């Protein structure tokens, strides 16, 4: 070997060196994977669980949308103040349906594809029926705050968290059947808004139910949401010489109906029987005295919890809560209970969790979700006494 030449290591030594480099490299990779892969596989926790809400925020039913939306807002604010959903807050993203199915469909599509929500809450039966195919097609979950009796039955990811027409019909049948058992053949008539779910309620639930007590409606008078005058209909009702009149519809229509009932001398004299519309009738209390009302038992309950809810609501929004606000507040409570039971928040696990809810405490009492996806809760019969609805038979 001449001066200046480098000494080359034997081939066996070079082989051992390469093996050690390879071993060290493999160990380094394994160490990195041991720390990195679990983090990659670990579900990322969102900043908030977003819920899309499609309500009539403008148009003729805007007052309904405001009440429903504020009920949901209060529920979310209070849930978040108490730790949210397993530490993650809820966030509501609103869309305006204007009370129209086609507008509601567009709002739903935007919330799901534009904002990326997979849980959508909607109201008004005709609107949620239009929303349903959009939500199902996008693999989401639809919560309907409406009275439609079966829009949720054929899809596992569709729920109704609200009083249904069949729930309300049970109360009507109970009351009218009790009247038939106490009086000699009462003469019962009905004045009702001509919308699909109310017509279905009458034909599929109320009339068959009261028929078992030997009753039917002596007179049936439909009216449209756009009606302002009721004289001809009230004259027919007066001519029928009724003992009981069932009135079904929206509270904003009742001032005109009651005015005509008084002018045609139907009131006083006929026992009025109403449903959920009488829980926000836009009428002074003295005009409602003695009216029989069917609705959730919470409306007749005299509990500190309900009184505090009304106090909190008025303090937060500056006006009084009604039936819609309480029902949507309870719907969010029930939805939150389902979200807490689905760790990765995938639609399939949320659906499974919601369908497993039994005896969940909410504002409107202890509720459950039945096999079809509907919220089940106590329905009762009450009467207006001294400015408020009390359970039938109670005294002020």
What tens digit of pLDDT does each residue of 159-205 get?
A: 999 888 888 888 888 888 888 876 678 899 999 988 877 888 899 99
Let me know if residue 34 belongs to a domain. no
Check whether residue 246 and residue 385 sit in a common domain: yes
Cα–Cα distance list, 336 to 3, 71, 333 (Å): 84, 14, 5
Check whether residue 311 and residue 257 sit in a common domain: no
Q: What is the DSSP string of 276-307?
A: GGGGS-SS-HHHHTT-EEEEEGGGG---HHHH
Check whether residue 254 and residue 213 sit in a common domain: yes
H or E stretch covering 122: strand 119-123
Residue 146's domain is classified under what CATH number? 3.40.50.2300
Query: Is the pLDDT reported for residue 40 higher than 50?
Result: no
Check whether residue 81 and residue 139 sit in a common domain: yes
Check whether residue 318 and residue 286 sit in a common domain: no
Check whether residue 59 and residue 98 sit in a common domain: yes
Weakest mean pLDDT among 9-13, 93-97, 222-226: 9-13
Query: Is the pLDDT reported for residue 42 higher than 50?
Result: no
Let me know if residue 265 belongs to a domain. yes
Check whether residue 339 and residue 192 sit in a common domain: no
Q: What is the average pLDDT value for the chain, to the nearest integer?
A: 84
Contact by Cβ (8 Å): 224, 197: no
pLDDT category, 249, cuts 50, 70, 90?
A: confident
CB atoms near residue 63 (< 10 Å): 17
Check whether residue 316 and residue 374 sit in a common domain: yes
Check whether residue 54 and residue 80 sit in a common domain: yes
Check whether residue 129 and residue 141 sit in a common domain: yes
Number of separate domains in the chain: 2
**Alpha carbons 319 and 325: distance in angstroms, whole number:** 11
Domain that includes residue 135, residue range: 49-164+303-378
Please compute the mean of the pLDDT values over residues 33-44 and round it to a whole number.
Answer: 49
Predicted local confidence at residue 189, as pLDDT: 92
Check whether residue 146 and residue 179 sit in a common domain: no
């Amino acid at each position: 070997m001449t001066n200046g030449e480098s000494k080359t290591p034997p081939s066996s030594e070079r082989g051992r060196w390469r093996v050690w480099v390879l071993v060290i490299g493999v160990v380094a990779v394994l160490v990195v994977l041991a720390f990195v892969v679990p983090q990659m596989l670990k579900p990322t926790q969102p900043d908030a669980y977003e819920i899309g809400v499609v309500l009539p925020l403008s148009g003729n039913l805007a007052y309904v949308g405001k009440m429903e939306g504020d009920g949901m807002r209060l529920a979310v604010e209070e849930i978040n103040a108490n730790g949210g959903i397993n530490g993650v807050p809820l966030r509501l993203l609103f869309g305006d349906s204007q009370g129209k199915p086609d507008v509601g469909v567009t709002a739903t599509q935007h919330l799901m594809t534009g904002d990326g929500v997979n849980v959508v809450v909607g109201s008004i039966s005709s609107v949620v029926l239009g929303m349903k195919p959009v939500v199902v097609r996008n693999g989401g979950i639809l919560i309907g705050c409406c009275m439609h009796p079966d829009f949720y039955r054929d899809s596992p990811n569709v729920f109704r968290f609200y009083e249904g027409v069949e729930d309300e019909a049970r109360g009507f049948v109970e009351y009218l059947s009790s009247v038939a058992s106490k009086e000699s053949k009462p003469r019962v008539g009905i004045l009702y808004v001509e919308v699909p779910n109310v017509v279905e309620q009458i034909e599929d639930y109320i009339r068959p139910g009261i028929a078992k007590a030997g009753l039917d409606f002596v007179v049936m008078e439909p009216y449209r949401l756009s009606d302002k005058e009721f004289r001809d209909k009230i004259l027919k009702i007066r001519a029928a010489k009724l003992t009981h009149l069932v009135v079904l519809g929206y509270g904003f229509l009742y001032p005109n109906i009651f005015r005509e009932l008084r002018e045609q001398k139907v009131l006083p004299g006929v026992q009025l029987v109403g449903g959920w519309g009488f829980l926000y009738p836009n009428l002074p209390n003295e005009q409602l005295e003695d009216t029989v009302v069917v609705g959730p038992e919470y409306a007749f309950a005299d509990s500190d919890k309900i009184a505090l809810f009304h106090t909190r609501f008025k303090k937060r929004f500056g006006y009084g809560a009604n039936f819609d606000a309480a029902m949507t507040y309870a719907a969010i409570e029930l939805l939150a209970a389902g979200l807490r039971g689905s760790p990765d928040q995938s639609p399939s696990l949320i659906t499974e969790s919601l369908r497993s809810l039994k005896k969940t405490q909410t504002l409107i009492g202890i509720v459950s979700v039945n096999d079809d996806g509907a919220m089940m809760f106590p329905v009762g019969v009450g009467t207006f006494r001294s400015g408020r609805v009390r359970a039938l038979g109670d005294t002020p």
